[in-house]
A = this chain, B = another copy of it.
């Protein structure tokens, strides 16, 4: 056994996370600190093994079902990579090619695609109050199906983004922070600014800022949420952030100024999102099939956004952060001023300077997803990691 792997196993031995076995991953705040830590540790362990050309295939066959109700590149490829790393084949449920339009129930679809499914990955972030509900309905159906003897296994949910949380993204973001600052023990007292930023596009999901404040407040950091008036996120998520901060010895505050948030920040996460109230209205209009109303709302929102063009991650603002060198985070793709749009979330020169940490941030996602699956499928993850090292099957046979 190499020492690197042993360190991860020792770390896992110090944590309690048996409740993750055969469980699902909806929200980070459903999980204990130990469980969150276990995900990071297993992610690092899997990466460690792969870097040593040791196979981490625990599945000989089996399917990972993906459902993307919104376009996706990086999450799609992260899920595919995670499944492949563990030995699962991705089968995408493309609702356009299916008979679902016939009006069949989610209960039925869920069971029909799950006969040999070990994992279900769902992205459904378009409508407030819908995404999480869909995931829950889907998983209730397969849980029942498993109980009733229809499904041989209960597949595990990995929430690939809903209207409430984006756990695989925020945990990848968090792993970047941990590695960047040399360990979770160095984060106490660090200031993180999660701030709204201007974008010429409309209706971006709230799940990233919500996920960020819901997770990042657990590590003793001073988390500041900044946005213009009217761009509030779910009150429930703010409440979670408040409680987390209190428990972790950090803080959670809200301000209405990007400049105030950036001041002396160690980490900044400037990103656009839509106002919660407007998204609720949109869901209502959608429910009524009022597409003219939706178009009208879109125009209003773009006009509202345009009033806040000064909310942008400029070089000037970056200078005001800790030593002028805060870590810049983004879930990507960013709206880059002068590159992907005339005026956007971030100056091109800022973005370019942070390419390496940004791409590294994204590179954690496949491992985070794989770790979530691993912890849900392995009864004794430490034992399985040991056995993988002993099996010592090369990923690339030479």
- A-side interface residues toward B, CB under 8 Å? 50-51, 55-63, 68, 71-74, 76-78, 80-81, 84-85, 87, 89-91, 93, 97-105, 107-109, 111-113, 115-116, 118, 145, 148-152, 201, 332-333, 335, 339-341, 355-356, 359-360, 362-363, 365-366, 377-380, 383-384, 387-388, 391, 393-398
Contact = CB atoms under 8 A, between A and B. Distances in A.
23 contacts: A57-B61, A57-B397, A59-B395, A59-B396, A61-B84, A61-B87, A62-B395, A72-B97, A72-B98, A73-B93, A73-B98, A84-B116, A105-B339, A112-B359, A115-B366, A116-B366, A150-B356, A150-B363, A378-B398, A384-B397, A384-B398, A387-B397, A391-B397
B72 A104 contact: no
Contacts of A377: 396
A77 B359 contact: no
Contacts of A332: 104, 108, 112
The copy count of this chain in the complex is 3
Contact of A89 (B50, B89, B99, B356): B89
A76 B102 contact: no
A111 B60 contact: no
B393 A363 contact: no
A68 B99 CA distance: 12
Nearest to A364: B115
Nearest to A114: B77
Contacts of A152: 50-51
Contacts of A395: 59-62
A387 to B, nearest CB: 7
A13 to B, nearest CB: 17
B99 A333 contact: yes
A333 B57 contact: no
A51 B146 CA distance: 13
Contacts of A383: 398
A239 to B, nearest CB: 31
A88 to B, nearest CB: 9
A99 B112 contact: no
B51 A396 contact: no
